[in-house]
Structure formats: C-alpha cells, structure tokens
Structure 1
Amino acid sequence: MAMLEVKDLNVYYGMIQAIKGISFEVNQGEVIALIGANGAGKTTTLHAVTGLTPVKSGHIFFEGKDITKVPAHKIVSMGMAHVPEGRRVFAQLSVYQNLKMGAYTRKDKDEIRQTLDMVYEHFPRLEERKNQMAGTLSGGEQQMLAMGRALMSHPKIILMDEPSMGLSPIFVNEIFEIIKKVSAAGTTVLLVEQNAKKALSIADRAYVLETGKIILQGDADKLLNDESVKKAYLGE
C-alpha cells in the first residue's frame, strides 16, 4: 500500500480547471519529484493534498485513509508536513519560536526536545541563530528554518514546494544535501521543484506535470536522460 495515493484529482479556481484528473502515488521511504513549468499545477497539487485547497473531485489517501475532506490542521497531526513556496516563516518571531510553532500538534516535551536537537543537527546555522528574528535571516537560512519547522511536527512525509527558489547555487546545493539526509533518516519526501535537474538527481521516481496533467512518469534517472525532458526542462 502506498503511503500517499492521489486518484483522479480535479481542482478548480472558479471556472478554471487547474488540475485535470491526475493520479500518482508515493511509497514509504521514497523521494518523489513533481516537475514542470510555472503554472503546470505543482503547487496546487500540494495544496490539495495538504487540505489548503478544496478538491472538486477525486480522492487523496494517506496511509489508506481518505483525507480528501480532512482539514489541514488534522492532516498535520496525522503525520504530513508542508514546506510552502516562499518559505512563509514568522518574521517577527525568533528562530527558536518558529521551530516550536512546528511542534504545536505535539504534547510530549521530551520528544519535542529530541526533535529540536535533530533539527539543529541537520541545520547547525539555526542553532547559532536561535534567538535571532526570523525576518532578519538570509533567504537560504529562512528556507532551512521552514524545513526545520516542518520537521518539528515529526512527519512521516514532508511536502516541499520549490525549496531552491531564489537561492544562490551554494545554498541550493546545501538544501538538496539536507533533503537527502532527511530522506536517509526515514522521512518520505514529495518534492515540487522547478530545478528539474537537481530534483531528478536526488529523486527515486518523478512525475512531469503540464497544464494540470501528468504527461510523463517513471524512474528519475530515466527521466533525467529522456530527450523530451532534457529539451523541455533541463535546458538541453
């Protein structure tokens, strides 16, 4: 059984159909990439899965349970975390306060402290800046904070939306190394990313979205060498 299964998903914004009957699945332990151009429907797909955007028809299953109509905050408590596009840190709160916000569904203080230690291990810079206001961090540091905040909920699966957007190449490499570490530690990852080459280089499998439809899918290494993918998304 897949950890996350999306079946015949349709999403509309008013009269405009943004997602057109897509189906995909994410198995436990996988890194799955959703790639495609701007406006392809990648972010809308993540918003539908995490309960932030209503679904017109179709179903979303998480660990075998239908979560299509489940509110977003309950989806978080079930074990799904979302790192939004644009990072969305709480600018007026400290790094530490932002991280604590990520654990708001949890009650066990000892386990929360252990997770915080794990986050600091992944992101030493966050520990160095734990008392600094989040709004004063660089873009790369804010991305680390958004990822760390998501990990504080101790998720089974983490959905990441454009983690490399607006970052310098050095930070991009650092972020993708951390994604690999998060995966290696046992967290399943669904990654939306415009940097298709980077995404495919760390993913197990991938789906290519175009105008709300999945037009290609398969093993990431095969898609990395697919001529149509190279031409359309890899700048080759």
Structure 2
Amino acid sequence: MLKVENLKVRYGMIEAIKGISFEVRDGEIVTLIGANGAGKTTTMHAISGLLKPASGSITMDGQDLVKMPSHKIVSLGLAQVPEGRRVFAQQTVEENLILGAYTRRDKAGIAKDQERVFDLFPRLKERRTQLAGTLSGGEQQMLAMGRALMAKPKLVLMDEPSMGLSPLLVKEIFHIIEDINKQGTTVLLVEQNARMALAIADRAYVLETGKITLEGTGEELAKDERVRKAYLGG
C-alpha cells in the first residue's frame, strides 16, 4: 500500500531523515518508535505532503506522492491525525467532523461516516454541539481521530495519539486504534509509548537520529533486548 524508499528530508543544511526505507501493507498496523528528535513526525509530514523530501520516493498504491499537493493526497485515501490534536477550537465537534470530509461530495456517505465516528466515540456524540476548544485533552484526541476518519481514508497516519493523556485514556485510545484497523483502515502509528504501540502493531521500525536501526514484528521488537533497554524501561 505505502512504500517509502531511500527518503531524505532536510531542514536547511541539517539532514533530519537520512535515507530511510519501509513499507505499510494493506490492513496492517505499523508503528515507528524512537526518541524525541528521531525524525518520526518529519517522516509523517513528508508522507502526507506537508514537507517536500530532498530525495527518495513515497508511493501509495503505486502513485507517486512526492510531487502531489496535500489535498490530492487526502483524496487518494490518506489522512493524518496530527501531533497535538490541532482541532479547530472555535468550531463545534460536528463542524470539525464535517471539515474532515472537505474533499468528499457524497452527502449520504458523509452522514453515514459521521454516525460511525459517533459509534466509535460516544462522548463526541454527547458533545456534538460543543466548541472543540472546550473539550478535555482526551476528547480532543478522539475528535482529531474522528475528523481524520471522515475523509474515508484507506490509510491513516497517527502522530503521538497518546501524548498527554492519563493511563486509562491511553488504553482506551489504543483499543479504538485497533477497532479502526479491524473495520478496514490501515494504520501507520508514530508513538513514544513504545510498549503500547508494539503491543498492537503487526510490524514495527525503530528510528534513531533519522535512520531505521531495527525492524521486525511488534512482538519481536518488544522482546528485543536493545529495544527493552532503550524504550521499555529495561
């Protein structure tokens, strides 16, 4: 589905991503784990068209994403849940969801997907007329995820969905990610909570200072001594 080959991304003279290659197959949950500054978010932004790579290729279902504008990439079936949620604070929950479907014209399908989002996130349904900026952190994360799903993506990129949430809410968010995947959406997950990410991932990659240093199944990396020491507290 998604193939990244020899990707390099620069900020001025600094090479943030140093020639990484990985893939996400249809129906998988794939996670990128790594410390702050490893290049995880930069990689996500390059895939979704928010940053232009210095070199390398990014393809989805055989289509080149590198020269494609972001809104066209969304229309292909790729959506992103950004780090820090970035909901539209002065819009209601419902308005945020409708904005997520801005590339679509199928009114019946949009209404159906909104109900699907409300089934996944009952709290959003209760707060559908509430301003997004007045929601709790966990509710804003749910809204950011729901807004991405309104684009009807085949592949959703999730950037640090558990950031700043209580342990109880973290578990809930990860259960929902699994549900989204079981309903047919492929997931590429960037996450600092390596333990939770590896527990739900089919496959995983470790990113360190712009390079992929390890890869394997989620289970394999969770048992790897190097990963345990660096990311799982020994």
State TM-score, norm by structure 2. 1.00
The DSSP-based 3-state class of the residue aligned with 2:90 is coil
Match runs of 1:62-141 below 5 Å: 62-141=60-139
Deviations 1:58-101 (A, max 9, x none): 00000011111111111001100000000000000000000000
TM-superposed CA distance for 1:156, in Å, is 0.2
Stretches of structure 2 lacking an aligned partner (at least 5 in a row): none
TM-superposed CA distance for 1:205, in Å, is 0.2
User: CA separation in 2, counterparts of 1:57 and 1:181?
Assistant: 35
User: CA separation in 1, counterparts of 2:65 and 2:44?
Assistant: 13
TM-superposed CA distance for 1:187, in Å, is 0.2
User: CA separation in 2, counterparts of 1:108 and 1:30?
Assistant: 27
The DSSP-based 3-state class of the residue aligned with 1:222 is helix
User: CA separation in 1, counterparts of 2:106 and 2:218?
Assistant: 38
Amino acid across the alignment from 2:39: G
Which residue of 2 is the match for residue 186 of structure 1? 184
How many residue pairs are counted as aligned between the two chains?
Answer: 234
Which residue of 2 is the match for residue 173 of structure 1? 171
**Residue among 148, 151, 154 paired with 2:152:** 154
Deviations 1:132-156 (A, max 9, x none): 0000000000000000000000000
Deviations 1:161-194 (A, max 9, x none): 0000000011101100000000000000000000
User: CA separation in 2, counterparts of 1:161 and 1:27?
Assistant: 18
The DSSP-based 3-state class of the residue aligned with 2:26 is coil
The DSSP-based 3-state class of the residue aligned with 1:93 is coil
User: CA separation in 2, counterparts of 1:20 and 1:138?
Assistant: 37
User: What is the aligned-residue identity percentage?
Assistant: 66
User: CA separation in 2, counterparts of 1:144 and 1:219?
Assistant: 27
After the TM superposition, list the runs of 4 or more consecutive aligned residues in structure 1 that deviate by more than 3 angstroms.
Answer: none
The DSSP-based 3-state class of the residue aligned with 2:44 is helix
Stretches of structure 1 lacking an aligned partner (at least 5 in a row): none
The DSSP-based 3-state class of the residue aligned with 2:139 is helix
Amino acid across the alignment from 1:5: K
Amino acid across the alignment from 1:31: I
The DSSP-based 3-state class of the residue aligned with 2:216 is strand
Which residue of 2 is the match for residue 33 of structure 1? 31
User: CA separation in 1, counterparts of 2:63 and 2:143?
Assistant: 30
**Residue among 53, 56, 60 paired with 2:54:** 56
The DSSP-based 3-state class of the residue aligned with 2:9 is strand
Which residue of 1 is the match for residue 199 of structure 2? 201
User: CA separation in 1, counterparts of 2:199 and 2:148?
Assistant: 23
Which residue of 1 is the match for residue 217 of structure 2? 219
Amino acid across the alignment from 2:92: S
User: CA separation in 2, counterparts of 1:93 and 1:116?
Assistant: 16
Deviations 1:110-147 (A, max 9, x none): 00011001000000000000000000000000000000
